[in-house]
Amino acid sequence: MSKANPAGRVALFDEVRGLCLILMVFYHAMLDLVTSGLNLTWFFSPVMQRFLQPAVAGTFIFISGAVSRYSRSNLRRGMAALACAFSVTAVTFFAMPATPDLFGILHLLGVCMLLFIPLRPLLDRIQPAAGVCLFAVCFLATYNLPWHIAGMGPLSVRLPDALYTNPYLFWLGLPAPGFVSADYFPFFPWAFVFFAGSCFGVLAKKKRLPAVFYRGHCAALSWIGRHSLLIYLAHQPLLIGLFAIVLPLFGYQVAF
């Protein structure tokens, strides 16, 4: 039986965010196992790498954009996300020097939250439904940007390699040759998902969504969603610690 949500919070946002976080933890656990030598061929399938993983992460980013409409301080949220992101970068530089986390999902969210502050007056002038559609088109148009392609399918063009020579533009989606990042969510295209979510959040705040969005359905998922930053930061050290104990029992060693 669903529970009422008297505070007006969009309960489904927290629950879906919690589910996405569980799936991201599962993905990173499988990645840890693969890098430690386990043969999980399905992990590298196009369905997993080109659809499921981006879909889950994209949903998480979309909801983060939506809840920016509810935040008392997007400045504080953005600074906290960036502080955590750069902490992860610093740790991975020492723990995983071959594949540090240079611009992952936390970096992206921190930048988007901060940009939302000056862009909010402009975003407020866009009709919410039109904004969602507009940013969805922009996302599709730039989705393959890191692979030197603009557009999709027959409407795509290959971009000149000269755009991908600056080693400091990776965060924009223009990685130079040899660029490696353990987690990579460049500003283009993923910022468009965040801003599409911010437009959707207008509809949520004005109570224009179906009632199912505002009722609680799973307290556990809701709790995970509300504590997503803490759990995201803690999950990888906990996974590595767990696998460091368990994998040697089966003849494997944890690899970074």
Domains of the chain, by residue range, sit at: 11-250
Q: Tell me: pLDDT of 138 over 80.
A: yes
Q: How many CB atoms lie within 10 A of CB 69?
A: 23
Q: Are 215 and 168 in contact (CB under 8 A)?
A: no
**Spatial separation of the C-alpha atoms in residues 31 and 157, rounded to whole Å:** 32
Residue 7 has a pLDDT of 52
Query: Which candidate, 2, 12, 66, 1, places its Cα nearest to that of 213?
Result: 12
Q: Are 112 and 165 in contact (CB under 8 A)?
A: no
Q: Which amino acid appears at position 2 of this protein?
A: S
| 207 three-class SS | coil
Average pLDDT score over residue span 6-18 = 85
Residue 38 has a pLDDT of 93
106, with CB counted inside 10 A (0-12, 13-18, 19+), is: buried
**Spatial separation of the C-alpha atoms in residues 53 and 58, rounded to whole Å:** 8
**Spatial separation of the C-alpha atoms in residues 201 and 194, rounded to whole Å:** 10
Q: Tell me: pLDDT of 254 over 90.
A: no
Query: Which candidate, 145, 193, 213, places its Cα nearest to that of 173?
Result: 145
Q: Tell me: pLDDT of 4 over 50.
A: no
**Spatial separation of the C-alpha atoms in residues 145 and 230, rounded to whole Å:** 31
Residue 205 has a pLDDT of 95
Q: Tell me: pLDDT of 1 over 50.
A: no
Per-residue model confidence as pLDDT tens digits over 210-247: 999 999 999 999 999 999 999 999 999 999 999 999 99
Residue 41 has a pLDDT of 92
Mean pLDDT across the chain: 94
Average pLDDT score over residue span 71-92 = 96
Residue 256 has a pLDDT of 65
Residue 16 has a pLDDT of 98
Residue 3 has a pLDDT of 53
Per-residue model confidence as pLDDT tens digits over 106-119: 999 999 999 999 99
Average pLDDT score over residue span 178-204 = 97
Tokens of 190: 């993923």
Residue 8 has a pLDDT of 60
128, with CB counted inside 10 A (0-12, 13-18, 19+), is: buried
**Spatial separation of the C-alpha atoms in residues 179 and 147, rounded to whole Å:** 12
